[in-house]
Amino acid sequence: MNSKTPDLPRPLRRPRRLRRSAAIRGLVRETRLTPDRLVLPIFLIDGENRDEPIDAMPGRSRLSIDNAINECRRAIELGVCAFDVFQATDASLKTPEGKEALNPQNLTCRAVRAIKKALPQACCITDIALDPYSSMGHDGLISPTGVVLNDETVDILAKMAVLHAEAGADIVSPSDMMDGRVRAIRTALDAAGHQDVAILSYTAKYASAFYGPFREALDSAPVDLPNVPKDKKTYQMDPANTREASIEARLDVEEGADILMVKPGLPYLDVIARLRAETDLPIAAYHVSGEYAMIKAAGKMGWLDEDACMRESLTAIARAGADVIFTYAALDYAQWWHESSA
């Protein structure tokens, strides 16, 4: 019996030819994520020269306005020119109706004015939701029976958006997931003469378990009180759903959104790809606090190469179809990009 292995035909196509060297791999690389496609979230606190590290988000801090400006300036030097500002509201200013959200002198409005004055080239994005201002920790108003009120909340969000536009925001970003808020915000902005202010809508924001460190940073988790919902599942989306994201996207497009957001990022790459295929509008994705914290923690333990895993994660989000990525690793990525391009 002849045990000799028969000669096999040589392959005509050899994909490895295009992987032989860094130069060749660079020529044919399909996804290129540059720093100018990243948005750096900024956590704000009142006062001066304050920098309070966030334990659950290594490398990130709550910053006073002066230090936030310094961080924005550093980011711009590295090519990251867009910033999403979130305020940590003092507990004494929180109320059930979140009235501090409509204070023209609140921390967000003051920060936007200061950033735009110091750095006119910066793109300021502001969060439109009530949870940082609410003593209930929810994105909307709560009825006496524990129902998150949609239309009453939308009225406040529209007024909030106008205040932020008056302060100098380039983009307002409703993250609340109330029905009809994009149309209400667009109508209010246009009526107030802010037709050039864009809306980046959190189109598919899921009721995710990956938001924990963010809620710690802003102290914005739902409170444990009678007749206060224990979670946000009546307005944020079910993680099991994808077709629902398409419904939300169509509504946001019809109502006047300029950019559509998927949040979180990595666990929802399929949703990013789905919306990318269904609309010509830019798609944003949020690489959220839990995703960031996991990589940081594993890197600290020596279980993963932190830098490589962070870059791979952001590239995967871009590969899925995101044009814009919100990430706490924006400065780290931009620094690596400049060093690798030198």
The residues that are catalytic are 205, 263
d(CA 110, CA 93): 16
What residue type is 323 in one-letter code?
D
List CB contacts of 29: < 8 A, sequence separation 6 or more: none
d(CA 19, CA 14): 10
Are 81 and 123 contacting, i.e. CB atoms less than 8 angstroms apart?
Answer: yes
CA 267, 257, 139, 106 torsion-angle sign: positive
Are 94 and 135 contacting, i.e. CB atoms less than 8 angstroms apart?
Answer: yes
Using the CB atoms, write b or e for 231-258: b if 16+ within 10 Å. ebeebbbebeeeeebbebbebbbebbbb
* Residue 195 CA: distances (Å) to CA of 187, 192, 244, 249, 259: 9, 8, 29, 21, 15
Q: What angle do CA 250, 163, 129 make, to 5 degrees?
A: 50
Whether omega for the bond prior to residue 264 falls within 30 degrees of 0, making it cis, is yes
Q: Which tokens is 86 given?
A: 């979130």
Determine the 3-state secondary structure of 10 from DSSP.
Answer: coil
Element (H or E) spanning 182, and its range? helix 181-191
* Residue 268 CA: distances (Å) to CA of 134, 148, 273, 274, 320: 28, 26, 9, 10, 9
